[in-house]
């Protein structure tokens, strides 16, 4: 039996036209880690049946599909993560000078995501961003996305035996789900394990609206009821893999207003040196079971919130004073990437503007042999003057039509 090294895995993403219409994701990116779990919420059947043993059967609960994806935050993949989390406005620019994508707090798009496990793949669809966390590890910006999904396809089994030559149709077992083929689309390659243990790959020509029947070109297949079917992994195509944003190329401006914070972040001489930076964007998403669905019927943002943590050298008690007196501050973060224009005038960049923040906590710990630091954890607040809690702008090499 084959074993598979995780290093061979990939993540592929692509926005869907509609939340319930999965597609084949075709934008491939290197993956740092993932921990997505499909939880059918099985429980032991505890009804009284004249037994002294706990149970003789398992029952299904409401299904959840959720977990974390971590990637290095290169400008192009970061655009997709932001697009899953927030509302993208109108993209401007061109390939020569870079595309500028504005994001504001609003409903992001639903995505199809595919993660390979060896030669097999797990297809998630109706994926939305629940929580996006940006920080830095060894100078490299990392983006960790907590996602939720409406559905997934990974594996199934044969419900009606395939009996030899000329097979064109497979019906999938409904033991797990009454619509087991949801997540498959025309053009997918599935692997059918025959009764003898050999495998046959077929390309899907149709995926029936009944949610359980798929068709393919006439193929010789002998597979008994219960034989497994898997989604086959794609062959990833990365092209030139872009570099992530770097901590050393990031500037942070902290000031009384957003305009002043923008000015401070525009230059290293006016920016505040920051030693650790973590930004969290949360959607507190509605993900509730409903009639007609084994899992959530819809994924929708509820009350949005954001926090940011900054660590800087202690110079005086000013930060503590601002903390205890609820003093309003504004923060602008500008991370600069590689040049796009050949004349070295336009760069990839990520700009995050917090129009109004106030510190929730302020820590000034003392450690032998070390300088004193301030670590402030800020709550991002809605600014009624500017009309924003936060704004995000991303400049990269990907056209807005890809998002």
Q: In sequence order, what DSSP letters do the residues of 232-295 get, joined into one string?
A: BPP-----SPPPPPBGGGEEEEEESSHHHHHHHHT-TTTSPP-SEEEEEEE---B--B-TT-SS
The answer on pLDDT for 371 being more than 90 is: yes
Domain boundaries, the chain: 6-39+59-152+240-402, 159-226
Angle at 374 between CA 136 and CA 334, to 5 degrees: 40
> What is the pLDDT, as a whole number, of residue 242?
85
pLDDT band for position 363 (50/70/90)? Answer: very high
Report the pLDDT averaged over residues 392-402. 95
Question: Which two structure tokens, joined as six digits, stand for 148?
Answer: 């939720």
Report the pLDDT averaged over residues 39-58. 93
Query: How far, in whole angstroms, is CA 174 from its chain's centroid?
Result: 29
Q: What is the pLDDT of residues 198-230, one digit of tens each?
A: 999 999 999 999 999 999 999 999 999 999 999
Contact 285, 148 (CB under 8 A): yes
Q: Is the pTM of this model over 0.85?
A: yes
What percent of the chain has pLDDT above 70?
Answer: 100
> What is the pLDDT, as a whole number, of residue 203?
98
Report the pLDDT averaged over residues 118-139. 96
Q: What is the pLDDT of residues 272-321, one digit of tens each?
A: 999 999 999 999 999 888 888 888 889 999 999 999 999 999 999 999 99
Dist CA 363 CA 312 (whole Å): 11
Report the pLDDT averaged over residues 149-172. 96
Instruction: Choose between 5 and 113: higher pLDDT.
Output: 113
Q: What is the pLDDT of residues 229-256, one digit of tens each?
A: 999 999 999 888 889 999 999 999 999 9
Report the pLDDT averaged over residues 333-355. 93
> What is the pLDDT, as a whole number, of residue 7?
81
Dist CA 30 CA 86 (whole Å): 23
Let me know if 5 is exposed, middle or buried by CB neighbors in 10 A (0-12, 13-18, 19+). exposed
Dist CA 75 CA 355 (whole Å): 23
Mean of the per-residue pLDDT values of the chain: 94
> What is the pLDDT, as a whole number, of residue 354?
97
> What is the pLDDT, as a whole number, of residue 1?
66
């Amino acid at each position: 039996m084959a074993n598979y090294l995780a290093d061979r895995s990939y993540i592929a993403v692509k926005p869907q036209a509609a939340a319930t219409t999965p597609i084949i994701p075709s934008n491939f990116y290197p993956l740092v880690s993932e921990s997505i779990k499909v939880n059918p919420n099985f429980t032991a059947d505890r009804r009284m049946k004249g037994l002294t043993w706990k149970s003789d059967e398992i029952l299904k609960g409401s299904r959840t599909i959720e977990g974390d994806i971590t990637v290095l935050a290169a400008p192009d993949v970061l655009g997709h993560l932001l697009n899953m989390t927030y509302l993208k406005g109108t993209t401007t620019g061109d390939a020569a000078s870079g595309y500028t994508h504005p994001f504001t707090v609003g409903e992001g798009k639903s995505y199809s995501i595919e993660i390979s496990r060896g030669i097999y793949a797990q297809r998630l669809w109706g994926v939305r961003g629940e929580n996006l966390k940006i920080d830095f590890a060894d100078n490299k910006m990392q983006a960790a996305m907590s996602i939720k999904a409406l559905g997934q396809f990974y594996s199934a089994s044969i419900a009606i035996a395939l009996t030899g030559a000329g097979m064109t149709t497979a019906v999938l077992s409904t033991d797990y789900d009454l619509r087991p083929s949801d997540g498959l689309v025309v053009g997918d390659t599935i692997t059918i394990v025959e009764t003898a243990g050999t495998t046959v790959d077929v390309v899907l020509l149709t995926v029936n609206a009944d949610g359980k029947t798929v068709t393919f070109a006439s193929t010789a297949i002998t597979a008994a009821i219960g034989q497994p079917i898997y989604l086959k992994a794609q062959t990833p195509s990365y092209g030139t893999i872009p570099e992530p944003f770097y901590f050393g190329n990031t500037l942070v401006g902290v000031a009384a207003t957003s305009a002043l914070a923008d000015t401070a972040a525009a230059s290293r001489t006016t920016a505040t040196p920051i030693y650790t930076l973590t930004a969290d964007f949360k959607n507190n998403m509605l993900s509730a079971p409903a009639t007609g669905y084994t899992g959530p019927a819809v994924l929708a943002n509820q009350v949005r919130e954001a926090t940011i943590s900054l660590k800087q050298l202690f110079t005086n008690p000013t930060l503590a004073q601002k903390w205890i007196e609820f003093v309003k501050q504004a923060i602008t973060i500008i991370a600069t990437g590689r040049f796009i224009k050949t004349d070295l005038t336009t760069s990839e960049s990520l700009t995050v503007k917090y129009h109004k923040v106030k510190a929730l906590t302020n820590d000034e710990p003392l450690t032998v042999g070390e300088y004193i630091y301030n670590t402030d954890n800020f709550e991002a607040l809605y600014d009624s003057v500017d009309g924003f809690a936060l704004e995000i702008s991303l400049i990269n090499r990907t056209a807005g039509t890809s998002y």
